[in-house]
Structure 1
Amino acid sequence: MASATTDALAAQGSLARTPANRPGLRVASRFAVRELRGGLRGFGVFLACIILGVATIAGVGSVARGMTDGLAREGQAILGGDLSVRLIQYQATEEERAYFESLGAVSEVATLRAIARGLDGESPALVELKAIDNAYPLVGTLDVEGGGDLASLLAESDGMFGAVAEAEFLTRADVAVGDVLKLGEAEIVLRGVIAKEPDRLSDGFSFGPRLMVSQDVLGATELVQPGSLANWNYRILLSGRPGDGAVTEAAESIPEAFPDAAWRVRTRAEAAPSLNTNIRRFAEFLTLIGLTALVVGGVGVANAVSSYLEGKRDVIATLKCLGAPAELPVVVYLIEIMIIAGVGIAVGLGLGAAIPFIAGPLLSGFVPVDIAGLYPIDLLMAAVYGFLTAFAFALYPLGRTRQVSPSALFRDSVAPIQKRPPTVYLVAVAVALLVLAGLAIGLAFDRRIAAVFVGGAAAAFVMLRFVALGVTALARRAPRVRSTSVRLAIGNIHRPGALTPAIVMSLGLGLTLLVSLVLIDGNFRRELFGTIPKTAPSFFFLDIQGPEADALRTFVAENEPDAELEMQPMLRGRITQLAGIPAEEAEIDPEARWVLRGDRGITYSATQPDNNDLTAGEWWPADYDGPPLVSFGAEIAEELRIGIGDSITVNVLGREITAEITSLRTINWQSLSMNSVMIFSPNALRGAPFTSLATLAYPDGGTDEQELAFLKGVVDALPAITVIRVKEALETATDIVSQIGWAVRGASAVTLLASMLVLGGAFAAGSRRRVHDAVVLKTLGATRGKLIGAFALEFLLLGAATAIFGLVAGSIAAWFVLGAIMDVPFAFLPVPALGAAALALVLTLVFGLAGTWRVLGQKAAPVLRNL
């Protein structure tokens, strides 16, 4: 007390020289620095929470920024030029090609899916076929293992053309370099393994490994026919070294020169748009989880500040008794806490800044760009989040000292005062939290999802406060029992200064997030790997030409008579107008923008599909022969803001077709059956070249042996048909989902770790009063066993209440995300959900008893002398 009184007198002397006896910032800063000379004892949880949250946000933001900047920086190499023009199902005309060449150097590349296999035909493999010309690649180099010139490897030699492939193809097809492959109707020699393909990312998602051949062999394969699903890509390297403005101008000139052409033009700035979008979405999701961890840590900040101020209670009371202004303790300790927060933020930024250098090599296979570097904007935002969190959660307990009289402060150890801070402090806390939420939403890629996330976190905070009040009220009204341990446990829950609010808040937020992520992950996996394989067909057949359709029906009837074969015509078309308004100018929901990007699969039918139900309108007669009509997917029509009676214009192979919407349908995409957003009346597409799409399903789902035998037979009999085995496609999806799942689990583990730190801090904050209680009870004859039993029961009751809330709130959050955002049916999964709840009980009990054991070991005499 002596040193505290001396400091107080010194402060009083300094304050006497300030106008109107108000505390100057200089004086308060001097006090704060003097206090910090004693070290950071008591702020371990505070620092850990700040470091953890800031490091997560800074690291995720830096990695995402590094990836997106790397894609932009390497855009020319990734795209294969300054511009890329893609045509589906047909090549550019001589006039169009001449225009491309007037802009600069041009390379023509054809891409399609096909089946390749060794001559023994034992292991046919789906490949992403790429047929290149002699100019490929315009930018960068294609590396082959062991070296070699690409043109020579693909050229004709000894009467056979060559090919190079990714290593995965060799494993899938069970072939080796030097083997002869069967590709469609052609035979080629595998001459090398691709080590690096410069423009691989620009092609987007793939179902199979790359197989690269020369365009000279493409005709011999007979894979490309009128209506085939082949993409013709024209990479253009503009003359000179044009800036981004000149590249954009050149891109805009192409559709202006050929307004009726159905192509998609991309610049080097959007070399991998889908990947870029996915990176930003995923980074945003992980950032929001990191922000949740930071807010959960904010509870730890509040607990740590409360515990620290409790230790400074006598100093604050002495200052007030000696006439110090009421604001002085608040200003002093706010400066002190923000300095400590600054230390934690600096450490967190250092860790976050190091993450791109660590993650770069690990992500090189996913995004082959250099992401190592410092990203000041993302580090600055993480620092802002950290300071706002520390300020908002520290100000409330600090403001309480402004409102409490010196005598009440002295009594606080035995009769805690539960006064609220003045209104100005509450307003400041609210403003800080609103700014925090505003930044999270305003800077988000998808603001709707961010708003839902932030709103859910805020609602969880409010509800957890009510849960704590409810548990306290129930404990206060509980009937009196004979057991001393039970009475003590229940009394500890509702007494003044109880740990109930801190435990419920700290554990509840982390558990809610954990349960929701567990249920989202479990339901998504159940749908993808459980429900879908049971209802999905076993095979998809692409690019079925006219004569081959009958041949496929015959083959199936002879070899798998019990299997169900469905077939429908398939074309590609791009929506150009909605209700007479150009598609790019139409006001639609952002979620439906994908429908207008590029070409969509379309079909026609005289009769309504069996697996689609009409929600509005009527189907046309089977013999209809009037103006073009179209049936549209109901959900997508709503997002596009069109309906019955509206018109829609589609560009099919350069021909504009305008049709009236006469019906809306439900589409079950999860079934993986043949579905199309647009189904036209047959007369609308009369004369257009088309291929057919087919599915084959076994009544009992089919075995692996049955499917593999059928695959080998159909590829041998009909080599020009592309066959996709659904189980292999799902395996590819499994790998992607598993990688995403590990990242989400890692982020959620950060939040859980923050909850554990906060929980430990909550027990530490209440240890002072626990020591007093334990010593008094032991002096009155209570045994250590009875006290441990009472404390264990208290922690179990609080953990159970929090677990119930976490289960309910987490389930509701998962139901909303799955239904409203992911369009996946929700089912409560008891094992993972109850496992998370059990984890909450264990953590509460372990942390509680660990702190209690230390409390029970305190000597009575020193404590009793200070009461």
Structure 2
Amino acid sequence: MHGSFGNKSHPRRLALILRVAMRDMRGGLRGFGIFLACIALGVAAIAGVGSVASALSDGLGREGRAILGGDVAVALTQRPANDRERAFLAAQGTVSAIADLRAMAVAENGEAVLVELKAVDDAYPLVGELATTPPLARSAMLDEARGRFGALADPALLARLGIGVGGSLRIGELTVEVRAALDSEPDKIAAGIGFGPRLMVSDAALARAGLLQPGSIVRHSYRLLLPGGEADDGALVRFEERAKAAFPDDGWRVRDRLNAAPQLERNIGQFTQYLTLVGMTALLVGGVGVANAVRGFVDRRRVTMATLKAVGASGSLVVAIALAEVMLIAGLGILLGLATGAAMPFVAAWAGQGLLPLPIEARLAPGPLLAAALYGGLTALAFSLVPVGRAHDVPVAALFRDHVEAAQTPVRRRYRIAAIAAGALLVLVALALAHNPRVAAVFLLAAGLAFLLLRAVAAGLMRAARAMPPFGGPTGRLALASLHRPGALTPALVLSLGLGVTLVVTLALVDAGLRRELTRALPERAPAFFFLDVQAQDADAFGAYLNTVIPGAVVEKVPMIRGRIVSLKGIRAQDYTRPEEVAWVLEGDRGITFAESLPEGSRLVAGEWWPPGYAGPPLVSFDAEIARQLGLGVGDAVVVNVLGREVAVTVANLRTVEWRSLGINFVMVFSPNTFAGAPYTLLATLTEPAGADPARSLSLVRGVAARFPAVTSVRVRDVLEAVNDMVGQLAVAIAAASTVALAASALVLGGALAASHRARLYDAVILKTLGATRGRLLRAYLLEYGLVAGASAAVGFLAGSAAAVLIMTQVMRLPLTYQPAPALAAAAAAVIVAVALALAGTWRILAQKPAPYLRER
């Protein structure tokens, strides 16, 4: 028999290992429930997130033409295409013109609501259909009939204004008839998120409404269907090349159906990254449960292992057989996780019908499934090698003794190196497959530091328990001994509880900080209203009216123009290297202004402000933080395009901006002579005096809509409440996703308790035989678990607080608003749950009678 184990070629040895492993597994998977759950949970999270993201990306690609509203879209801000540009577009294919702006819709009862106004021509939509209630022919929706133009209104707008189909709305100087409720528009996703409900009218109606004044904030877009475009992606490239050659500096923003919703795709990628990291957290936390389960498996299989070694099997062969069993069971968990993850796109597609405007192409996604399987396999291998390797050098006689002695056997260096190599490979795979490798690297570094910190805390707690003088009689001595004895639960409990509490505290603090910042701090000092598109000639009359309606209000007015950055330091904006966080500054048009003096809420940090009446070369002031990320400094050259004209300016100074005040401020402020003679509108704010009557605010909106129909009123409190609702929904989604990691922590806790069941049972039997009562043992266990849970919760609270502070101040760039109450409540709840679970498992142990176990000894 010795020869049969010791002289096998590699293929035959592998076959032998698998055969013995499969034969040994006939006894079932007892003790591997936690192991399977940890692996399956993490793999399912990663596979599901990746599969749903892939389904969304495929759906966006498949429906790109419908989402964009054509093969190509050309956007211009503040100006329509001129005759030359329209002629060029018409020569390329079928064209549809659309104008988007914000306006006030006023009902017959005087109620006024901010709406996202969309004006379309007769060719709209080029792709897809408008769904309305009641269904109407395209010509009956918006055309003029009986002296009035038609309109399609979002059902939410009709409900808010209390009108129905057939009712009237005034936009600007024009009254339109609501012909139908707008159920869906094919290009809604490409339009992004708006501040108000949709109202759709014809381009002829918009021209009559008087809203298109010089300087008005309006975006014109032109959708094209190219001849044969759907079958020929090369036509898209050729169009963009022709457009760039014909209009290189006219401010065209061109998108095609292959990139129909770039911001949405970026958001999907970023959220996918976050959720994948949550899945990785679950796997890493679950890895502790894997190690505990494997340690218990080695303990339960000690007789089998001893038998194999007694008949000639080498230590490495015993380890290989045990590892094969572990990886086969891990494979089962991976398959369960993959099956769950693969089903998620189909569930999302079914559940999202009629609820989500996103096109989901439900299908199997081999890439994400393979990545999830790789993550799961490497995690199982990395966390299994050390506990499995303990069996290598344990003598046969020791394997038949108590498992605590086996746990003391040192692990050979080869198994530690193999475990480190598997962990390193897991890190490399995570970095290679990450949407943002830098974020993934920070996460993995933080996870590694968290593991090391909690291991250090566990070691410190065990050392302190060993050094602490006895207290509390036999109960206290037993609790302290249990904390530091060989095979103690302390490391596993500290790790699982510490990670769980850290995650819970971080979520609680970030959520509380966001809510406080958005719902309490800002409204107390922010303007009550923003007013857009105030015409310069109406500025005095508009300010006087505001002070008449709300006496004592502070009204601030600044000029505003739309412009875009063409180049920085001589480099075209599209070629300029910049961090993703400030890419928005160089993409499309931005609101800009000019001012004689430094705006309120700003502070110079570099350079000097221009003197009053400055008439020299055009200058610009930049937000200091954005300038830093763009690599700009005082004296650098910037070219901006305003109303189709390029203007070269020099950076005169950098300033910090207090954006939280919601006062009027801009990334770029120009010297007044820069845009001399250019048409502009005013942006105005109104800050109410203390104790202002809310009823006056409502009458103000109605009055402004009646007297200044081209002005758009934005009530800041409504916007903040909408943002708060969005933050609340996001917090719920993040918390729901993070329950995967919390569930893994709970599984690890359960696994640690299960792994110690045999040792606890033997201790209880011996102590009860010596006269210990069940109550005394229960108090000892309560003290032990309380000390471990308290130490873990304290470390988790501090680590979670530090993480929340970093997220709030460094990632979200918000001031520190530390609210410990929610975090303390979360940490206390985690301690109570952990101790209750531990005592529940211990109670079953204490109920066992000593006699049967003593006879076995």
- Normalization by structure 1: what TM-score? 0.96
Determine the structure 2 residue equivalent to 1:366. Answer: 356
Change (3 A) 1:380 1:120: same
Give 1:361 shift.
Answer: 4.1
Kept in 2, the 8 Å contact 1:538–1:701? The answer is no
Aligned to 2:133: 145
* Paired residues of 2:434 and 2:440 also in contact (CA < 8 A): yes
**Could you report, residue by residue, the CA deviation over 1:227-286 in whole angstroms, capped at 9, with x for unpaired residues?**
110111000111123422321231232122111201211111121111111111112111
- Aligned CA-pair RMSD: 1.7
- Output the amino acid matched with 2:852: P
2:431 to 419, 433, 441: 441
- 1:279-298 matches, within 5 Å, as 279-298=268-287
SS in 2 for 1:225: coil
| 2: CA distance, partners of 1:437 / 1:75 | 35
User: 2:29 is matched with which residue?
Assistant: 40
Query: 1:716 corresponds to which residue?
Result: 706
Partner Cα separation in structure 2 for residue 420 and residue 413 of structure 1? 14
**Structure 2 equivalent of residue 204 of structure 1:** 192
**% identity of equivalent residues:** 49
Q: Which residue of 1 is the match for residue 43 of structure 2? A: 54
Contact 1:349 1:383 (8 Å CA) reproduced: yes
Q: Which range moves more in the overlay, 578-587 or 440-449?
A: 440-449
Structure 1 residues 436-445 or 542-551, which shifts more? 436-445
Alignment of 1:72 onto 2:61: yes
Structure 2 unaligned regions, length at least 5: none
Aligned counterpart for 1:843 among listed residues 828, 833, 837? 833
Aligned mates of 2:404, 2:99 — CA distance in 1: 81
* 1:84 maps to 2:84: no
Pairing 1:561-576 to 2, within 5 Å after superposition: 561-576=551-566
Q: Is the 8 A contact 2:523 2:717 kept in 1?
A: yes
Give the length in aligned residue pairs: 855
Amino acid at match of 1:391: L
CA distance in 2, matches of 1:482, 1:273: 66
Q: 1:94 aligns with which of 83, 86, 92?
A: 83
Following TM superposition, the consecutive aligned residue runs of length 4 or more in structure 1 with deviations greater than 6 angstroms are: none
Mean Cα deviation higher: 169-178 or 768-777: 169-178
User: Aligned to 2:289, which of 266, 276, 300?
Assistant: 300
2:246 counterpart of 1:223: no
Q: Which residue of 1 aligns with 2:595?
A: 605
The Cα offsets for residues 100-146 of structure 1, whole Å up to 9 and x where unpaired, read as 1111000000110000021221x211111011111111111111112
Find out whether 1:589 has 2:579 as its counterpart. yes
Match status 1:271 vs 2:274? no
Q: Which moved more, 1:640-649 or 1:518-527?
A: 518-527
Distance 1:554 1:736, change over 3 A: same
Identify which of 763, 770, 773 aligns with 1:773. Answer: 763
Which residue matches 1:785?
Answer: 775
Q: Following superposition of structure 1 onto structure 2, how do residues 571-720 of structure 1 map, counting pairs within 5 Å?
A: 571-700=561-690, 702=692, 704-720=694-710
In the TM superposition, what whole-angstrom CA distance separates every residue of 1:640-684 from its partner, at most 9, and x where no partner exists? 011111111111111111111111111222222212110000001
User: Are residue 131 (structure 1) and residue 112 (structure 2) matched?
Assistant: no
Decide whether the 8 Å contact of 2:470 with 2:476 is kept in 1.
Answer: no
2:230 paired with 1:238: no
Q: Which residue number corresponds to residue 391 of structure 2? A: 401
Q: For structure 1, which segment, 617-626 or 542-551, has the greater mean C-alpha deviation from structure 2 after superposition?
A: 542-551
- Find 2:298's aligned residue among 295, 303, 309: 309
Asked if residue 819 in structure 1 is aligned to residue 809 in structure 2, the reply is yes
Give 1:507 deviation, angstroms.
1.7
3-state SS of paired residue (1:851): helix
- Secondary structure of 1:373's counterpart equals coil
1:252 paired with 2:241, answer: yes
1:452 offset after TM fit, Å?
A: 1.7
Quote the Cα distance in structure 2 between the aligned partners of 1:426 and 1:741: 40
1:521-558 deviation line (CA, Å, top 9, x unaligned): 22122212222222221111111112222221110121
CA displacement at 1:96 relative to structure 2 = 0.6
Greater CA drift, 350-359 or 487-496: 350-359
Aligned-residue offset at 1:78? 0.7
Do 1:544 and 1:721's aligned partners in 2 also have CA atoms closer than 8 Å?
Answer: yes
Q: State the alpha-carbon separation in 2 of the partners of residues 641 and 229 from structure 1.
A: 29
SS at match of 2:18: helix
2:755 pairs with 1:755:
no
Are residues 152 and 415 of structure 1, via their aligned partners in 2, closer, same or farther at CA, if it must alter by over 3 Å?
A: same
Give the aligned partner of residue 801 of structure 1: 791
- 727-736 or 383-392, which deviates more: 727-736
What's 2:202 paired with?
Answer: 214
Alignment deviations for residues 36-77 of structure 1 (CA, whole Å, 9 cap, x no partner): 111100000001111111111111111111112111110111
Q: Quote the offset at 1:340 in angstroms.
A: 0.7
Contact persistence 2:394–2:406 (CA under 8 A): no
Deviation, 1:414, is 5.0
Name which of 75, 91, 108 aligns with 1:119.
108
Q: Which moved more, 1:644-653 or 1:727-736?
A: 727-736
Distance 2:180 2:307 in 1: 83
Match 1:511 to one of 501, 508, 518 = 501
> Deviations 1:326-361 (Å, cap 9, x if unpaired)?
111111111111111111111111111111222224
Shift of 1:373: 2.0
Matches within 5 A, 1:432-471: 432-471=422-461
Is the Cα–Cα contact under 8 Å of residues 597 and 612 in structure 2 kept in the other structure? yes
Structure 1, gaps ≥5 residues long: 1-8
Letter in 1 for 2:348: A
Question: Which of 320, 323, 330 is equivalent to 1:341?
Answer: 330
Change (3 A) 1:50 1:825: same
Change (3 A) 1:506 1:487: same
Deviation of 1:412 (Å): 4.4
Q: 2:469 aligns with which of 474, 479, 501?
A: 479
Name whichever of 731-740 and 125-134 sits farther off.
Answer: 731-740
Q: Distance in 1 between matches of 2:546 and 2:122?
A: 41
Q: Which amino acid aligns with 1:304?
A: A
Instruction: Report Cα offsets for 1:3-32 as digits up to 9, x if no partner.
Output: xxxxxx6xx463144259x98111111110
Name which of structure 1's ranges 574-583 and 627-636 shifts more when overlaid on structure 2: 574-583
| One-letter amino acid of the counterpart of residue 375, structure 1 | A
Compute the displacement of 1:410 (Å). 3.7
Determine helix, strand or coil for the equivalent of 1:613.
strand
Write the distance in 2 (CA, Å) between the matches of 1:699 and 1:459: 51
Q: 1:802 to 1:323 in 2, by over 3 A?
A: same
Q: What is the match of residue 547 of structure 2?
A: 557
Instruction: Tell me by how many angstroms 1:191 deviates.
Output: 0.8
User: CA-to-partner distance for each residue in 1:703-725, whole Å, 9 max, x for gaps?
Assistant: 54332122122212211101111
Distance 2:140 2:672 in 1: 48
Q: Distance in 1 between matches of 2:513 and 2:335?
A: 39
CA contact (8 A) 1:519 1:814 kept: yes
Tell me which amino acid in the other structure corresponds to 1:70.
G
CA distance in 2, matches of 1:370, 1:587: 33
| Amino acid aligned to 1:811 | S
Instruction: Give the distance between the partners of 1:61 and 1:639, measured in 2 at CA.
Output: 31
Secondary structure of 1:616's aligned partner: strand
Measure the CA separation in 2 of the matches of 1:601 and 1:823: 22
Q: Does 1:63 align with 2:52?
A: yes
User: CA offsets, 1:210-235, max 9 Å, x none?
Assistant: 10001111122111111110111000
Give distance in 2, aligned partners of 1:327 and 1:367: 57
